[in-house]
């Protein structure tokens, strides 16, 4: 059997311009599993112990948190009826039903507001930042959860489409004011090994000293061509509306994706939760 690719090889494949042979870089371990990451959309039936799930939550919540405010929570959805309700929302994403574990990462500005009330010091930050900080905190925990699961050989897939069903999810999980879902997460033992996806070259996404747009379009064009060759899409998005393209590129796919309005009710939902977004 061929040797597994090393970190440099994985990052070169992913970015096409990743640096190589960095002095003092670790040769395996966490860097290897981060470099190998792929979202997992195929799971075996093997169950996970609740201890393992709790441990992953502990690792996720060990990640940094804005001002030590700890404005994120994780809801593990174990109840079979609740799982069935969630699974039924996503017939087009069968890995959600297949995954042995489903969790929901939430932003939580409620606890902080309650602390203010109990201490008798009014919360004087009722503006967009309150929502933003809790959402970012949840995203950071979500990312740490993915990395911790990857490092254990487990597979995950974040599920932002739970926000396509805000009222259902809100009621199902009993989310009170100032607690909102950021994304769901499937978790289990992967049915197949990860296969590295490609990312935009570092020339487009890593800047030095100031934002530089000069390299953008050239980098996107090169990425489009490389990705169409190495990781072609299995199907084209909405060909009845947009026609078919050859090659069908990443940028074409993304421009089609957000040509369609999505979650236009999210602002209203967040305001209803009590947030002032001004």
Phi first, then psi, for residue 36 (nearest 5°) are -85, -5
63 touching ligand FMN, by CB under 6 A: no
Give the residue, chosen from 5, 32, 39, 98, that forms a contact with ligand FMN under the rule CB under 6 A: 39
Closer of 38 and 168 to ligand FMN (Cβ): 38
| Beta-carbon count within 10 A of 5 CB | 15
7 touching ligand FMN, by CB under 6 A: no
106 touching ligand FMN, by CB under 6 A: no
Closer of 126 and 152 to ligand FMN (Cβ): 152
Closer of 14 and 273 to ligand FMN (Cβ): 14
Of the candidate spans 21-29, 130-138, 157-165, 254-262, the one that interacts with ligand FMN by CB under 6 A turns out to be 157-165
Phi first, then psi, for residue 8 (nearest 5°) are -60, -45
Closer of 32 and 125 to ligand FMN (Cβ): 32
Give the residue, chosen from 101, 135, 147, 159, that forms a contact with ligand FMN under the rule CB under 6 A: 159
CA-based nearest residue to 37, from 156, 142, 191, 186 = 156
Smallest separation, CB 94 to ligand FMN (Å): 11
Secondary structure class of 274 (helix, strand, coil): coil
Secondary structure class of 172 (helix, strand, coil): helix
Order of strands across the sheet with 72-76?
Answer: 72-76, 101-108, 179-188, 155-159
CA-based nearest residue to 224, from 254, 202, 258, 259 = 254
Write the binding mask 187 to 216 for ligand FMN: x where contact by CB under 6 A, - elsewhere. ----------x-------------------
Q: Give the DSSP per-residue string, 33-53.
A: HHHT------B-S----HHHH
160 touching ligand FMN, by CB under 6 A: yes
The footprint of ligand FMN (CB under 6 A) covers 37-39, 93, 157-161, 183, 197
């Amino acid at each position: 059997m061929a040797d597994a690719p090393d970190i440099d090889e994985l990052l070169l494949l992913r970015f096409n311009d990743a640096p190589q042979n960095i002095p003092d870089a670790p040769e395996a371990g966490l860097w290897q599993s981060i470099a190998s990451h792929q979202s997992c959309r195929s799971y075996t039936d093997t169950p996970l112990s609740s201890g393992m799930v709790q441990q992953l939550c502990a690792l996720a919540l060990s990640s940094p948190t804005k001002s030590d405010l700890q404005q994120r929570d994780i809801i593990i959805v174990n109840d079979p009826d609740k799982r069935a309700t969630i699974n039924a929302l996503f017939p087009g994403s069968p890995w959600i039903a297949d995954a042995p574990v489903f969790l929901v990462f939430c932003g939580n500005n409620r606890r902080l507001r309650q602390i203010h009330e109990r201490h008798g010091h009014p919360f004087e930050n009722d503006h967009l930042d309150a929502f933003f900080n809790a959402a970012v905190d949840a995203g950071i925990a979500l990312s740490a959860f993915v990395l911790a699961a990857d490092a254990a050989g487990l597979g995950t897939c974040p599920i932002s489409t739970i926000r396509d069903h805000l009222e259902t999810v809100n009621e199902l999980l009993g989310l009170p004011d100032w607690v909102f879902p950021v994304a769901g997460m499937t978790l289990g033992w992967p049915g197949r090994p990860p296969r590295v996806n490609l990312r935009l070259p570092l020339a487009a996404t890593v800047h030095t000293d100031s934002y530089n747009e000069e390299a953008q379009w050239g980098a996107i064009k090169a990425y489009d061509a490389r990705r169409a060759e190495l990781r072609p899409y299995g199907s084209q998005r909405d060909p009845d509306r947009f026609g078919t393209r050859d090659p069908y590129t990443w940028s074409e796919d993304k421009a089609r994706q957000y040509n369609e309005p999505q979650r236009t009710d999210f602002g209203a939902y967040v305001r209803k939760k009590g947030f002032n977004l001004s």
